[in-house]
Structure 1
Amino acid sequence: MTEIPSQNDQNGSPRRAPDASAVEIAPRSGTAFELRKGDVLRVIDPEGGQVSDLLAFMAADPREAISNGRTFDYEERIRLTRGHRLWSNRSTPMLEIIEDSVGTHDFLLTPCSEATFRHFYGDKPVHRGCFGNLAEALAPFGIDPDAIPVAFNIFMNVPVADDGSLRVLPPTTKAGDYIRLRALADLVIGLTACSAYDSCGGTFKPIHYRIE
């Protein structure tokens, strides 16, 4: 597994979560790593109330990437949970959700960025957001910022009203909630602990993950 964490310990190694088998993504940071076909990725909200943006690219050709539009089309829904697959822009299934303790995720909104902070949070310091964190983490895999698509926003709570309007509400997760996704191909994964105020209810916490 190749891992490019944005947050390391003093020895330059990825931070380990209290669960020794898990890796911690520090608040408002991101990482990237390889996930082999058949591996299972468990993403955990250790404290509750935190979102994690997930991206997936084909390891053999990162121009093939996760696609919300293809996924909505083939799964015939915008709400995704256990038993549903996440598809690529070339109509290839990439990940299958095999367990989900929450059932509330978003696949509509793009990763938060500096522009997001300027648009929505003019009274708060500008942050590079998940987009900037993902761009840095994915660069060693040859993935450019312009290739970053809409992320599968794990634990993000985005209700859509009958008139088509949407809101971003705090996550419904409690400490220890998780989702498990099985890789259906060799992938490069980008993963964050989200940086946006609304997405995370105004607080910023770590995300843990484990490859099983």
Structure 2
Amino acid sequence: MLQTIQPRSGTAFTMKKGERLKVIDPEGEQVADLYAFNEHDKNEFISSGRSLDYNESIQFKKGSLLYSNQSNVMLEIIEDTVEDHDFLLTPCSVDTFKHFYPNEEPVPGCHGNLVAAFSEFDIPEHHVCTTFNTFMNVEVDAKGKISVLPPKSNAGDYTIFEAKMDLIVGLTACSAGESNNFRYKPIQFEILPAANI
């Protein structure tokens, strides 16, 4: 069943091994922060560092594997109409807004929204670390300068992740202006059954 995450909010849910998560950008240029835990061991969670290391790349697309802090594969990207995502930057937070947008009223951001969503699964705040920022367009120049640019995703673009273990997944419609070309839009998602092989 297709579900909608309202702008600047988030949710959490479970997935079984083999199920597929389709994350959709219904209006275009909207980031969705994704984070995941092993459903049976909440001390195992998605790891940016392990994933960057083992993929030997900062670019993620069809065929890329997302690893846990215990070096196990949690998710595989099996379809991707954008093939432009970020796994370097932390989820936006109250502190992010104070730092980058000092003249705006801070909001919980993706970090706060994920913490609230994961609280239903008794997951503590300090376990929510660097997210897989689906559709986020981050460029790193030759001197190492990081730039956040408008997402390349168009209306209806999507990425499909296959669960490689039973998971608790958090997903947001990102709250940061620069990440979403200063428009806040919904994200849609659907959990698809395991493929018949």
TM-score band by shorter chain is over 0.9
Distance 2:90 2:42 in 1: 18
Other-structure match for 1:126 = 106
Post-superposition offset of 1:194 = 0.1
Which letter does structure 2 place at the counterpart of 1:77? S
Which letter does structure 1 place at the counterpart of 2:131? A
Q: 2:48 is matched with which residue: 68, 75, 79?
A: 68
Query: Secondary structure of the equivalent of 1:131?
Result: helix
Other-structure match for 1:197 = 177
Deviations 1:63-116 (A, max 9, x none): 100001101111111101000100000000000000000010000000000000
Which letter does structure 1 place at the counterpart of 2:126? D
Which letter does structure 2 place at the counterpart of 1:93? V
Which letter does structure 2 place at the counterpart of 1:55? Y
Query: Secondary structure of the equivalent of 1:96?
Result: strand
Other-structure match for 1:150 = 130
Other-structure match for 2:80 = 100
Matched, 1:57 2:45: no
Query: Secondary structure of the equivalent of 1:159?
Result: strand
Which letter does structure 2 place at the counterpart of 1:49? E
Distance 2:151 2:62 in 1: 18
Identity among equivalent positions (%) equals 52
Distance 1:171 1:84 in 2: 19
The TM-score, its normalising length taken from structure 2, stands at 0.97
* Runs of 4+ more than 3 Å apart: none
Which letter does structure 1 place at the counterpart of 2:5? I
Matched, 1:161 2:141: yes
Q: Which has the higher contact order (CA 8 A, sep 6+)?
A: 2
Query: Secondary structure of the equivalent of 1:195?
Result: coil
Q: Structure 1 regions of 5+ residues with no counterpart?
A: 1-20
Which letter does structure 2 place at the counterpart of 1:167? S
Query: Secondary structure of the equivalent of 2:151?
Result: coil
Post-superposition offset of 1:124 = 1.1
Query: Secondary structure of the equivalent of 2:98?
Result: helix
Distance 2:34 2:152 in 1: 18
Q: Which has the higher strand share?
A: 2
Deviations 1:37-61 (A, max 9, x none): 0000000000001000000100001
Other-structure match for 1:137 = 117
Q: Structure 2 regions of 5+ residues with no counterpart?
A: 193-197
The TM-score, its normalising length taken from structure 1, stands at 0.90
Deviations 1:119-156 (A, max 9, x none): 00011111110000000000111111111010000000
Query: Secondary structure of the equivalent of 1:204?
Result: coil
Distance 1:48 1:77 in 2: 25
